[in-house]
Structure 1
Amino acid sequence: MKKVFAYADAHKQSNYAEALQSFGMEPVFSADLKAARGCHGLLLCGGGDIEPYRYGQENKGSKNFDPERDEAEFHLVKQFMDAGLPILGICRGLQVLNTVLGGSLVQHLPTARAHAWEEETGDKRHLVQALPGSFLLKLYGERFPVNSAHHQGADKIPPALSLAAQAEDGVPEALQCPEKGIYAVQWHPERMMLSRRRADAVDGTLVFRFFAGLL
């Protein structure tokens, strides 16, 4: 069974665990980076904002920092890239990849109300446009609906990554580097599958099936 590492508390990641296990992957959730040894892929889960100094900015709307997690995930991305092992980024994970590889973030989107989770409504929903050459075209077609729970987004995209999809307001919704097995989505496919399947969005299982095929 292929092992996938994520810097996370196993007790808080049941959605991700079920998503990985549904395609025969073994999740390894730990804050001990030594546990990543021998794993076949890296999952970067959703979470709080990255400290802005990491992409050369002062704080202009970022929140919910976890400096230890930033440091750990930045290290893990480089470790798995150097080893030639695939990486899947989800929500914050997309932003981590964009930052590690030299990009920057919009700290608070002008259209955040259309993207951000709210207590009254939960995840938002909006359409996504897959670009030519995107891994998502084969999975979902050119235009499709997804859930949404973020107030930040990728700004400058580094040369190592390419834009794979965007929202109707232009916010980047997926990035990729097929040569290095790096793929990321800004939405939460683990909340769009199995018992959490939504009638108003596409099936998130396709993203995890795609990732499983890379291992």
Structure 2
Amino acid sequence: MVSNDSRRPLIGLTTYLERTSFGVWETEAAVLHGGYVEAVTRAGGVPLLLPPVGFGHAELASALDGLVLVGGADIEPSRYGQEPHPTTVTRPARDEFEFALLDRALAAGLPVLGVCRGMEVLNVAFGGTLTQHLPDRLGSSEHQPAVATFGLTDVRLAEGSRAAAILGGQTKCRCYHHQAVEELGEGLQAVGWAADGTIEAVEVPGERFVLGVQWHPEQDLDDFRLFAALVGQAGKGKA
């Protein structure tokens, strides 16, 4: 965590562009679950909400100290060579923004944390593929039990991984995903698994902080270690 007299790292948080109701309005809005903002703030970072626009990726990458790719809708399957499953729901404009921003962020050496969809973005960006509907493969919906209902999943983390250094060898997670990594992207390493074998965490081996988790750490504000690790790395400056 960054001390009060230090410059606090600027952490970009991607957002949803959705039809939203607030106050007297119902309109298209760039929105984000408040847990992400609270987690970054508690970790000592300055959260900056990033709407999905089609330009400015280089400028953002140069201004930010770290990036969080947040959860949300499914990735357009054509990006990894598949036709859409009937349950797949996409936001192509958001895909365009996040893949372009991630490319710039990686080139700039920014630390990156991918959450749920964000981990899937990482995997596809590194050339991997996704299972579009886990219940078809598992015969179970335990990773997404019901609409707006998080499942509790025990995740085993690989010894020696960055994820295990942050969280220990085992962690209980709030999951809400019907998709998952199928073929792992080149340059990524699987470092976390559910009991059913579903990959729940990936990272780039070595010193670079590029970490994705399939669960939702922003839903547990008593444990913001992943965000603290990101902010801590961001505070060291760009790689």
Q: TM-score, with normalisation over the residues of structure 2?
A: 0.80
- 20, 32, 35: which is aligned to 1:15? 35
Distance 1:159 1:175 in 2: 11
State the Cα RMSD in Å. 1.8
Displacement of 1:117 in angstroms is: 4.6
* 1:54-203 correspondence runs (5 A): 54-109=79-134, 110-111=137-138, 112-119=140-147, 122-177=149-204, 178-194=206-222, 203=223
Q: Which runs of 5+ in 1 are unaligned?
A: 195-202
3-state SS of 2:110 partner: coil
Q: TM-score, with normalisation over the residues of structure 1?
A: 0.89
One-letter code aligned to 2:216: H
User: Higher Cα Rg: structure 1 or 2?
Assistant: 2
Q: Please say which of residues 41-50 and 124-133 is displaced more in the overlay.
A: 124-133
Sort the Cα spacing of 1:5 and 1:140 in 2 relative to 1 into closer, same or farther, 3 A.
closer
One-letter code aligned to 1:2: P
Aligned to 1:5: 12
**Which gives a bigger RCO, structure 1 or 2 (Cα 8 Å, sep 6+)?**
2
Sort the Cα spacing of 1:80 and 1:19 in 2 relative to 1 into closer, same or farther, 3 A.
same
Q: Which runs of 4+ in 1 moved over 4 A?
A: none
Distance 1:62 1:74 in 2: 22
One-letter code aligned to 2:232: G
Is 2:55 the counterpart of 1:28? Answer: no
| Percent of pairs with identical residues | 34
Aligned to 2:64: 39
Aligned to 1:211: 230
One-letter code aligned to 2:233: L
User: How many residues of Structure 1 are paired with residues of Structure 2 in the alignment?
Assistant: 205
Say whether the 8 Å CA contact 1:127–1:146 is kept in structure 2. Answer: yes
3-state SS of 1:214 partner: helix
Distance 2:208 2:78 in 1: 26
